[in-house]
Amino acid sequence: MTQQRFAAAMRHALELAARGPARGVNPRVGAVVLSPAGEVLAEGWHRGAGTPHAEVAALEELDPQQAAGSTVVVTLEPCNHTGRTGPCAQALIDAGVGRVVYAVADPGRRSGGGAERLRRAGIDVVSGVLADEVEVFLDDWLFAARHARPYVTLKWAASLDGRTAAADGSSRWITGETARRRVHEQRRASDAVLVGTGTVLADDPSLTARGPAGELLPEQPVPVVLGERAVPDDAAVRRHPKPVIVLRTRDLPAALEQLQQRGIRTLYVEAGPTLASAFVTAGLVDEFSVYLAPTLLGGPRTALADLGVASIDEQRRLSLIDVERLDDDLLITARPR
């Protein structure tokens, strides 16, 4: 069977994978079973937590004798652990398949290693087919799995002189309506939105994603509150359509690992200067989303607090990714170098 046939089947498996849920603990995976002659015998994709994985879903369409000697093309390396379902690598071994072709290795500490298990069982394994395309498709899940934490975007809105509030603490509104709409779009596109308890107590945010008329958008991020102080029972965040996750800790790496284990792949942080600076200092910010308004406020209320930069040689340089004009405001996107 040719590499071209593998690539065609992998592209179809990728189309199948796109039918699965885009959020949650599990990745979107698709699988295609080919006969020794290269004909499609079955296909499957993962429909969500607790359901059969893509390979098993495809095998379930076949009689046992049909799977023997077949080639299974799957977007992600077959898993090697028992969770809500058994290991896919063992299911493929038990089915008697002759070859497994996959695009990207599973980076999970518990789930990885399926390819080696297959090889030990005498099954031919081919890796890396359309790996670049599958990497892009699974980028958020792969990042979270590889780093044991979500991809973190830190956002703030500030005046041109870097102030996020006036001297009395008032901050509504520094930016205009178009910029505020973009913030809600970014919230909607994120798995979760995180603030500290200080922000909850001071501003009482709802952390919802809303449309132009203030209506709730169909897709909502999970609200997360981080800090050791209690969240009031009547806080607006407790009326969020999704249950709030309260993390009573200051341990950022541990908190992010907890979120990743809950299926949070992308995290949008809207923190005050103390918590925002803690994320930056710990090296836990993957992208900065900074809204700048053409106004001046002066005073002490800056976007970030002390970052431990004692001299100009220690400044934290960023790579500029994009600058977008939103009416009178600017949205600057940057990433750490």
Tens digit of pLDDT for each residue in 208-230? 999 998 899 999 999 999 999 99
Model-level pTM? 0.88
Q: Using the structure block, give the residue that is written with the tokens 């949008």.
A: 268
- Bond preceding residue 141 cis, omega within 30 of 0: no
pLDDT of residue 225: 97
Amino acid at 8: A
CA dist list (Å): 185 to 163, 221, 237, 263: 23, 11, 18, 20
Spatial strand order in the sheet of 329-336: 245-247, 222-226, 192-196, 266-269, 151-159, 287-293, 329-336, 318-326
Tokens, residue 318 = 């960023």
Q: Which fold has domain 3-145?
A: Cytidine Deaminase; domain 2 (3.40.140)
pLDDT of residue 105: 95
Q: How far apart are CA 297 and CA 317, in angstroms?
A: 25
- Say if residue 172's pLDDT is above 90: no
pLDDT of residue 3: 79
Mean pLDDT of all residues in 180-207: 94
pLDDT of residue 1: 61
Where in the chain are the domains? 3-145, 149-336
Q: In the predicted model, what is the mean pLDDT of the chain? A: 92
Q: How far apart are CA 258 and CA 253, in angstroms?
A: 9
- Say if residue 109's pLDDT is above 80: no
Amino acid at 271: A
Class of the domain covering 149-336: alpha beta
Residue numbers annotated as active site:
55
